[in-house]
Each structure stands twice: as C-alpha cells, then as structure tokens.
Amino acid sequence: MNALALMVIALSGYFSFAKTRDGTNPLLSVGEAVLVAAMFSVLLGGATLWLSVEDAAVVVEDTLSVLGLAFLTALLGAFSASLKPRREPIPHW
C-alpha cells in the first residue's frame, strides 16, 4: 500500500501543477487533483482492507494520511506552477 500511496501523492502534485500551468485557476486545479487522489486512495484503502488482515482503523488512518499529503502536494504543485508565468516559445527564422 505504501508504494501505491506514494504514487497517488505524487500524481496529485503533478496534476495540480499541469492544470495550473495550462491556465486553470489554481484553486480549481487543487480541487480536481485532490478529488482524483481521494478516489484512488479510497479504492486503494478498500482493496487493502479486503486483502489484508489489518484492522479497519489502521487502514482508515493510512487513507486519511494519504489524503492529507495529497492535498499538500497539490497545493505545492499549484503554487510552484504559478510562481513563474509560462513564456512564449522563441520563434524560429
């Protein structure tokens, strides 16, 4: 679960960065990235609960930790994308 949770967290930051870089409102891009991370995280938590012998409270705690970290990386991705505006490509002769 830890490796897949790390992938969900990293993809949340990337989605937020890419959407903000394309010109979307940073708050909207953070919301969309966290929504995608929440869907994948719940799916991952449900599969972990079904396939393992861990208690439900432990799985829920891990899932909420993943969601919190995904939110923070989405904020960081949107913030870093909005720091420097995108430059126009240099025209070729």
Total count of domains within the chain: 1
Distance in angstroms (rounded) separating the CA atoms of residues 22 and 73: 18
Q: What is the pLDDT of residues 60-86, one digit of tens each?
A: 999 999 999 999 999 999 999 988 777
Q: Is the pLDDT of residue 1 over 90?
A: no
* pTM, entire model: 0.85
Runs of H (alpha helix) within 1-93: 2-21, 26-51, 56-83
Q: What is the pLDDT of residues 29-57, one digit of tens each?
A: 999 999 999 999 999 999 988 888 888 89
Identify whether 89 is part of a domain: no
- Domain hosting residue 42, numbered range: 2-83
Which residue is it, tokens 């409270």? 57
31, burial (CB in 10 Å: exposed 0-12, middle 13-18, buried 19+): middle
